[in-house]
Amino acid sequence: MVDSASRPVLSAWQQLPGDHQPSLRCWWSRPASGAPRAAVLVLPEVFGVNAWVRSVANRLAAEGYAALALPIFARTAPQFEVGYDAAGLELGRRHRDQVTAAGCLKDARRAIAWLQGQPGLEGRPVGCVGFCFGGHLALLVAGLEGVAATCDFYGARVSVFRPGGGPPSLEQLPGISGDLLCLCGEDDPLMPEPERQAIAAALEADSRRDPARLRRLVLAPGAGHGYMCEQRADHNPSPAAEGWRLMLELFARRLG
């Protein structure tokens, strides 16, 4: 395919087999020619690796990155893909509630290892971006070896919850060695003021421990939940364009 705004890309489904682990049916997109700038792992919303998530990977490839969209429900629904309606949300939340941090991190390690074995990406650090529940998971994946920059879009409940149980995901901030950018809408009902305050305080405290690492929370004015996605009712073009710009700026600075 060819992205209308930039360079030609190659994209297709890519199966990542695993010994005694679920196979991962990922969406793999990269520049059609030349070496990629770096690799980015894309973690979807509860609606699965659907057309919009695939378009995110394709847009990253059009910017010169190799992007791999990971199925976060690989253990319960490996080919999960639903629309942005009430039925899709209900089904997605059922699978979400069966995800564990341990399982997600196992899958992410496999995906990162696969990315770092691709031509032009051997052993290089990777980036990660996640949306909604995928944003929450991105905060966990940020602590893995080899992840140099993470962009968490409206990952809710990180201050009070960890998938599968255990301390809240936000408590793992000190173990994240790369840069971390968190973004959410000011009018997001899933990220109320106490949650945003907890995230801001944790990022500030962690930044004081190591000022060299980026720790930033960006509130998008007038935006609700899911504002980055053109297929959702809450899509907001201006904050979405700014979120995309900030993400690319982060990856350019840390990944090259």
The catalytic residue positions are 132, 188, 225
Other C-beta atoms closer than 10 Å to the C-beta of 253 total 12
User: Which residue in the block uniquely carries the two structure tokens 């504002």?
Assistant: 227
Integer angstrom CA distances of residue 95 from 32, 192, 223, 231: 34, 24, 26, 21
Which pair of tokens denotes residue 105?
A: 């991190």
Q: Residues 180, 107, 245, 222: is their CA dihedral positive or negative?
A: negative
Task: From 129, 134, 212, 130, select the one nearest 178 (Cα to Cα).
Answer: 212
Q: Which residues pair with 218 in a beta bridge?
A: 183
Calculate ∠ Cα 135-137-138, nearest 5°.
Answer: 60
The identity of residue 188, as a single letter, is D
Q: Position of tokens 């682990």?
A: 21
- CA-to-CA distance for 153 and 182, rounded, in angstroms? 6
